[in-house]
Amino acid sequence: MIARVAFPMAIPGLYDYEVPPHLERGLVAGTPVRVPLRNRPVWGVVVATAPRSDFPSLKKVLEAKSTHWTDKSHSLIKLYEWMAAYYHCPLGRVFRPLVRKGFVDLGEKTVAVYTPTGAQLAGLTKKQRQAADALRGEDTGLTKEELLRRHSLSQHMIVRLVSKGVLAKSQRKVYREPDELRQARGDDCVVLTDEQRCAVESVGSFFGKPSKPFLLYGITGSGKTHVYIELARTCLKKGRGVIILVPEIALTAQTIQRFRDALGGVIAVVHSRMSDGERRDSMEDLVSGRKRVAIGARSAVLVPMEDVGLIVVDEEHDHSYKQNDLQPRYNARDVAVMRGHFQNAVVVLGSATPSFESYHNALTGKYEMVRLTRRFGAATLPAVEIVDMNVEHRHGNWTFLSTYLRQRIDQTLAQSRQIILLLNRRGFSVSLLCKNCGNTYMCPNCSVHLVYHRSGASLKCHQCGYAEPAPSVCPKCRGEQIKYKGTGIQKAEEYLKEVFPHARIARMDQDTTRRKGQHVSILTSFAEQEADILLGTQMVAKGLNFPGVRLVGVLQADIGLHFPDFRASERTFQLLAQVAGRAGRKDSLGEVVVQTYMPEEPGIEATRTHDFEGFYKREIVSREALNYPPFSRLARIIVWGEGEARVRAYAAKVAQALTRTPNAGMWVLGPSPAVLARLNKAFRYACLVKSKSPRILQKAVSGVRSATAKPPKGLKVTIDIDPVDML
Ligand code: ADP
Ligand code: ZN
C-alpha cells in the first residue's frame, strides 16, 4: 500500500510513500504520519491511500498515529479538498489548524497513583503499620496529594510504604481540560417559550434529512442559546455529534459553561489558545467518541468527527470566523455550510444582526429563515440615546465623556447596577505629535502611527508588534512638548477612575487578557459583581449575558467608520446592536448611550430603533448599485515584498493576467496601494476582483494562481477569497 501525503507546515504538494505492512492497519486519509522529507523526518497527513504509485523507489512511512482520525465515509476529506480548491491553497495547509506540531508529538498525560495492596506484612515500623491500617478502606488509586490530604502521608513515607509493599505505584491517564471547563455551575432548568419551541421544531424536523441551512434571526436576549441547546440535545439523542462555533475566546467561556450546564460532560473544547496537550486530549476525546459535542472558535469546524448531525454557528456575522493572516484563508461559517452538505448535518446560523450575505440568502430562499422576535420574560430591548459629541464640544466639554452619559453612569452606580462601556481602541493615546516641529511617530516597518501605551511607557505598532520607549524629547528637534492625541482605552480608564473614584473598574482588552485564563477571570469577577464598570474593546460587545447590567455606553461609535471598506457601516451597526443588547437582559430597565461625531450615519441611526431590517433595506441599495456582496463575489489579490517599484510592476502583471481572458461579468479594481501600504517592512499592492458568478471568479483566480506560482525573488502573492479584511 502507498500513502499520498500532504504537509501542513512544510512544502506544498503531495508526495507518495510506501506504507510498511505493520503500519497498514488503521491508516486512512487524515492519519498523521511521520515521513522522511529531504532527509529529515517530518509530520504530514495522509490524504489518500492506493495499492501502488506511478513513482519509482518510494521512501517509507516511519510512524503513524492511527487513533487521531476516522473518516470512513470520506466526507471530511471531501470537505478539506473543497476548501483547498475554493480558497486556493495547498491541501496540506487545510490541516494546519488541527494538526499542530504538538498535536502529533505529544503523548498522553499521566499521574502516579498509589493503591493499597492489602497484603499482611511483617517488618513494618509502628508508624508504617498505622498507615497501612488506615489505608485498608481505600480501594482506588490515590495521588500523592490525596494521600497527603486524607492520610497525612509525607512524600518520604509514601516511598517507604511502596518499598515495603504496602502501596503499589502505577500510572493513571488524566485529561487536560482548558480553564473554561473547570468551573461548571448548577444546571439551569428552562421551559422553552412558544416562539423558541417553534424554532426548535422547525429546525429539528430536518435532522437526518437533506435541508437548506437555517438562519436563526433572533433579537439579542431572545434565547438563541436555549434553542441551540435543545437542538443539540435532540441531535445527541439520535446518536449523532454536534459542532458549535462561537466567534471568539472572550465569549466562549460563558457560552461553554451554559452548554456544559445543560448537556453535561459530553463537551470537548477546541480553540487556538489551548495548550497543545489540551488540544490533543480534546481531539482524542472527539475521535474516540468519548465526547460528542465540539465547541470552539473557527477551527472547531474542522474537527475530525464522523457522524455530525448538527452544526451551529453562533453570531454568524462575526468577522473572527474568517482567517485572514494564514492559509487556509477560510470563513468557518461558509465551511460549516459546506460541511453540513457533505455530512448531511443540519446547519444553524444564528444572529441578532445577520451578515448581509446570510440575510440575503434567507430572503431569496437559499437559506430557511427562523425568527425569534421577543426577549425572554419581562425584558424588552433597551432604550437607546444618541449623543452628538460635536454639540458637547460646542458647549465646552472637551472630555470624551458627555454630560448625559456621565449623569447616567452616576445614577446607575447609585442604584448599584452594573455598566458596560465600549471603546474600541487599544492603548493610551492614539498618536504622538511634537508641537514644535510637527514630527509624528510612525512605525518603521508599517504605514501606521505608533500607539502610546502607558504601562511600560512605550510606543507600539498594533500591526507588527514593533515597540520602542516613549520619547521625552522629540528626536528631531529636541523639543519637549510632545502632544498625546486621541483617547485609547487606557486613558479612558484613568479618566473614569478620576471622575468616579468609588467605582470598581475592570478593563478588558488584548493587553489585559494576554495570559491564559485572564479573560475568564475578568468576566467571572464582573459576573460576581466584583466590578461596577466593565470597560472594554469589542471583546465586551459579543454574546455576554450579565443580568446585572443596566447601562451600556459607547464612548466613540464612529471609530470603525473611517476605514475605506464597503462593510464599514454594516460592521458598525453590528457592533452597536450587539453591545446594546447587553443591557437590560433581566428586566426592561436597560438603557444605552451612544456617543458619536456622526449621529446621522445610517449604521448609528438604526441603532436607536434596533432596526436591522430598515438598515438592511437602506444599505442594500448601494451594495446593488456598486455590485458588492451579496450581489457579487470578491477575491482580493495582494502582491507584497521588497522594493515598491517591483511590487507595483508585478501587481500590474497580476491585473493583466486577470483581464487576459475575455470576461463578461467580471470587474478588476486596481492594482493600487493597499490601505496598509506597508506592513512588516513589505510594500503591498492590491487588486480586487468582483463577479456575479462564482465560477467566473474562481476561474480567473486559478489563472492568476498558476501565472504567479513562481513570483520573482522577494515578492509574494496572497489570494483571499470572500475577503472581509480590506486593509
Ligand atoms: P441570545 O443568545 O438570543 O442573546 P440568551 O440565550 O442569552 O439570548 O437568553 C437571554 C436570557 O434569557 C438568558 O439569561 C437566558 O437564560 C434567559 N432565557 C431565555 N429563554 C429562556 C427560557 N425559555 N427560560 C428561562 N430563561 C430563558
Ligand atoms: Zn509596524
Return the pLDDT at 61. Answer: 95
d(CA 206, CA 245): 20
**Percent over 70 (pLDDT), the chain:** 95
Q: Flag whether pLDDT at 310 surpasses 50.
A: yes
Taking residues 389-400, what's their average pLDDT? Answer: 94
**Bridge pairing between strands 267-270 and 715-721:** unpaired
Classify 316 as helix, strand or coil. coil
Give the confidence band of 181 by pLDDT, cuts at 50, 70, 90.
Answer: very low
Query: Angle at the Cα of 599 (from 597 to 602), degrees rounded to 5?
Result: 125
Give the confidence band of 187 by pLDDT, cuts at 50, 70, 90.
Answer: very low
Q: Is the CB of 376 under 6 A from ligand 1?
A: yes
Note whether 675 and 727 are within 8 A (CB).
yes
Q: Which of the ligands is closest to the CA of residue 461?
A: 2
Return the pLDDT at 145. Answer: 83
CA of 143 to the centre of ligand 2 (A): 50
CA of 452 to the centre of ligand 2 (A): 13
H helix runs in 325-471, sequence order = 332-343, 356-363, 389-394, 403-414
Per residue in 549-562, pLDDT (tens digit) is 999 999 999 988 88
**Percent over 90 (pLDDT), the chain:** 58
CA of 700 to the centre of ligand 2 (A): 33
**Residue closest to 349 by CA, chosen among 196, 228, 488, 440:** 228
Q: Is the CB of 218 under 6 A from ligand 1?
A: yes
Taking residues 465-470, what's their average pLDDT? Answer: 92
Return the pLDDT at 186. Answer: 44
- The DSSP symbol for 3 reads E
Q: Flag whether pLDDT at 102 surpasses 50.
A: no
Q: Whose CA is nearest to atom 11 of ligand 1?
A: 221
**Residue closest to 95 by CA, chosen among 381, 303, 399, 275:** 303
Q: Which of the ligands is closest to the CA of residue 226?
A: 1
Return the pLDDT at 105. Answer: 56
d(CA 33, CA 185): 40
pTM of the predicted protein model: 0.88
Q: Is the CB of 510 under 6 A from ligand 1?
A: no
Q: Is the CB of 254 under 6 A from ligand 1?
A: no
- Alpha carbon 375 to its chain's center: 26
Q: Is the CB of 221 under 6 A from ligand 1?
A: yes
Per residue in 405-461, pLDDT (tens digit) is 999 999 999 999 999 999 999 888 888 888 888 888 889 999 888 999 988 889 999
Return the pLDDT at 417. Answer: 94
Q: Is the CB of 350 under 6 A from ligand 1?
A: no
Per residue in 203-260, pLDDT (tens digit) is 999 998 889 999 999 998 899 999 999 999 999 999 999 999 998 765 667 788 888 8
CA of 192 to the centre of ligand 1 (A): 9
Give the confidence band of 182 by pLDDT, cuts at 50, 70, 90.
Answer: very low
d(CA 126, CA 85): 74
Q: Flag whether pLDDT at 570 surpasses 80.
A: yes
Q: Whose CA is nearest to atom 15 of ligand 1?
A: 223
d(CA 462, CA 103): 30
Per residue in 511-539, pLDDT (tens digit) is 998 887 788 889 889 999 999 999 999 88
Return the pLDDT at 358. Answer: 98
Ligand 1 atom with least separation from CA of 372? 3
| Bigger pLDDT: 144 vs 563 | 144
Provide the mean pLDDT of the chain. 89
* Per-residue CA distances from 714 to 602, 681, 693, 711 (Å): 44, 12, 33, 8
Lowest mean per-residue pLDDT among 343-347, 481-485, 536-540, 543-547: 543-547
How many CB atoms sit inside 10 A of residue 242's CB? 27
Q: Report which residue type is found at 459.
A: L
The C-alpha cell at 674 is 493597499
Across the strands, what pairs with 167?
116
Residue 346 sits at φ, ψ, to 5 deg, of -75, 130
Taking residues 494-513, what's their average pLDDT? Answer: 95
Give the confidence band of 313 by pLDDT, cuts at 50, 70, 90.
Answer: very high
Return the pLDDT at 106. Answer: 57
Taking residues 655-679, what's their average pLDDT? Answer: 86
Q: Is the CB of 548 under 6 A from ligand 1?
A: no
Return the pLDDT at 251. Answer: 63
Q: Flag whether pLDDT at 502 surpasses 50.
A: yes
Q: Whose CA is nearest to atom 24 of ligand 1?
A: 190
CA of 222 to the centre of ligand 1 (A): 6
Per residue in 23-59, pLDDT (tens digit) is 998 888 888 899 999 889 988 999 999 998 888 889 9
Return the pLDDT at 132. Answer: 85
Diameter of the chain measured on Cα atoms: 95
Give the confidence band of 542 by pLDDT, cuts at 50, 70, 90.
Answer: confident
Return the pLDDT at 177. Answer: 60
Q: How many residues does the chain have?
A: 727
Q: Which of the ligands is closest to the CA of residue 681?
A: 2
Classify 309 as helix, strand or coil. strand
Q: Flag whether pLDDT at 98 surpasses 80.
A: no
Lowest mean per-residue pLDDT among 34-38, 105-109, 141-145, 347-351: 105-109
Per-state percent for the chain, helix, strand, coil, to nearest 5: 35, 25, 40
Q: Flag whether pLDDT at 664 surpasses 80.
A: no
Q: Whose CA is nearest to atom 10 of ligand 1?
A: 221
